[in-house]
Amino acid sequence: MTQTVTRRIPSNNLEAVFAARGWLSEHPAPFLSLLFNDAVVLEARPGTFVYRRDDQSNGLYGIVSGAIGIEGGHRRQSPLLGHIMRSGEWFGIKALLHGGPRELTYRAIEPTRLVFIARTRLVPLMQKDPTVAVRVGQLAEIGNRLGAWIARDLLTPDASRRLAAVLYRVLGAGEVQPDDPSGFWLTHQQLGEMANLSRHHVGRKLTSFEAAGWIACGYNRVRLRDAEALAAFAYGDDEA
């Protein structure tokens, strides 16, 4: 991984972030304390890789702040950006199941802070305590749900609703505040790739969303102004 800083921070700071959203928000405080006992915090610059497809699995990553893009596809295809993860979310579960080469590429979209828990630390805990194994295994189900969500968004036939669905999902579904006051870092190219639309089409649709009061746009920045209204449009009747 390419990163600018690697350092430890007090575990209580991590627990506050992850207790608020995502996988660990559903688990008790003692489990969070156990998990973060030997955690390391990494900082990644925009554009740098956390890991690439075929890198060896070495551990589990959680997003403290910033954003991580997921790139992938069939081995015969060029990898494309499919989703952007935000604070409270986790990735890298393969390292804790059967290990082996990574299947997807994860890249920092914004200045990003991650927590890393090494496979060599977590696997022995899972082997020692079945409860830990069950809790960690929940990440596989969370990944399945995310995959189904992404696939369903892309099956939306109406381009405007499809873009709205992708936008709602990748901006954190109204659960995350941007680290940058001007908004989440997001380009027309990235949105077009994730929604299977041209940059021109994305630009026109974003203008209409902004006029409706759902979002506010700046240069490569987007802020959610009315997440519920955006979601209502995105997940409304496709025939409307």
Pair 98, 62 in one domain: yes
Label residue 131 exposed, middle or buried (CB < 10 Å: 0-12, 13-18, 19+): exposed
Pair 12, 116 in one domain: yes
Q: What is the DSSP string of 1-21?
A: ---SEEE---HHHHHHHHTTS
Domain total for the chain?
A: 2
3-state helix, strand, coil in the chain (%, to 5): 40, 20, 35
Residue 15: inside a domain: yes
Residue 88: inside a domain: yes
Question: Distance between CA 144 and CA 149 in Å, rounded?
Answer: 9
Residue 68: inside a domain: yes
Pair 174, 118 in one domain: no
Range of the domain at 180: 156-234
Residue 139: inside a domain: no
Half-sphere exposure of 10 (CA within 13 A, CB side): 3
pLDDT digits (tens, 9 = 90+) for 148-168: 999 999 999 999 999 999 999
Pair 88, 201 in one domain: no
Tokens of 238: 């496709």
- As a whole number, mean pLDDT of residues 2-6 equals 42
The domain that holds 10 is classified in CATH as: 2.60.120.10
pLDDT digits (tens, 9 = 90+) for 37-83: 878 999 999 999 999 998 988 999 999 999 999 999 898 989 999 99
Pair 14, 58 in one domain: yes
Q: Report CA-CA distances (Å) from 167 to 89, 155, 211, 214, 215.
A: 17, 15, 16, 11, 10
Confidence check: pLDDT of 7 > 70: no
pLDDT for residue 238? 55
- Residue 118's φ and ψ, nearest 5 degrees, are -70, 145
Pair 47, 100 in one domain: yes
At 14, the pLDDT band (50, 70, 90 cuts) reads confident
Q: Which of 130, 164, 181 is the last residue of a domain?
A: 130
Pair 46, 95 in one domain: yes
The domain that holds 173 is classified in CATH as: 1.10.10.10
Pair 167, 227 in one domain: yes
Pair 121, 18 in one domain: yes
Question: How do strand 59-65 and strand 90-91 relate by DSSP bridges?
Answer: antiparallel
Question: How do strand 215-218 and strand 105-108 relate by DSSP bridges?
Answer: unpaired
Question: Distance between CA 186 and CA 169 in Å, rounded?
Answer: 13
Residue 149: inside a domain: no
- As a whole number, mean pLDDT of residues 86-103 equals 90
